[in-house]
Amino acid sequence: MSWKDLYKHEWIAGSNREKQVRQLLEKEFPELVLKQGYGTEKTERIDHNLEHERGGPDYFVFHKNELLFHLEVTGTNSIVNDFVWIRPDKLQNSLKNQNKGIKTWFYTIYKNAHYILDTSLVNEFKEDSRYVNLYGRQELYIHIPCRKTYPKDKLFNWIRKKLGKLPKSKLIDIFG
């Protein structure tokens, strides 16, 4: 049985996570354009496309036709307290893109929390890869301690800096 068959019950939840993050970014940064990657926001299983690279980003985020970054949305409906899991192929893809000068952010959504990571943070823990039994199949994941992940503001402030905006928390009314 393929991994797509094992995860078919997760398609709708995964699509909802992707939409949630897209809507959050569009609300906060209406000037951004999020172009969907292969299979993003789909609610049903899609057949393999030979042109699609496994581990590719969910969104290509643009501002004024300039690619700012890739965004990977992942997670589960489980409660997570200790570790965030990232597939090694997601890291490999983000490292390849980093070598091309393209930043990748990982936005992970679990039942109890949201966790933000980037390529350098995930790469820092690549040696802590473990097999996890999911739906009767052993899958390899990189384990990143939740306490090492970033707050959402780190991503948002990075975007603001790229757009030439000051973080909202740093704005001072000098006329006051």
Q: Which residues neighbour 133 within 8 Å (Cβ) at sequence distance 6 or greater? A: 139
pLDDT in tens, 105-147: 999 998 889 999 999 999 999 999 999 887 777 889 999 999 9
The amino acid that residue 176 corresponds to is: G
Alpha-carbon separation of residue 106 from 49, 79, 175 (angstroms) = 23, 18, 39
Q: Which residues neighbour 113 within 8 Å (Cβ) at sequence distance 6 or greater? A: 80, 146
Q: What is the DSSP letter of 33?
A: E
Stated as kind and residue range, the H or E segment containing 34 is strand 32-36
Q: What is the pTM of this model?
A: 0.82
Sign of CA dihedral 109, 24, 44, 54: negative
- What is the set of domains in the chain, with CATH numbers? 3-170 (3.40.1350.10)
- Contact at 8 Å (CB) between 79 and 114? no
pLDDT in tens, 12-68: 667 778 888 899 999 999 999 888 776 665 656 566 554 445 667 888 899 999 999
What's the CA gap between 10 and 12, in Å, rounded?
A: 6
Question: What are the two backbone dihedrals, phi and then psi, of residue 61, each rounded to the nearest 5 degrees?
Answer: -100, 120
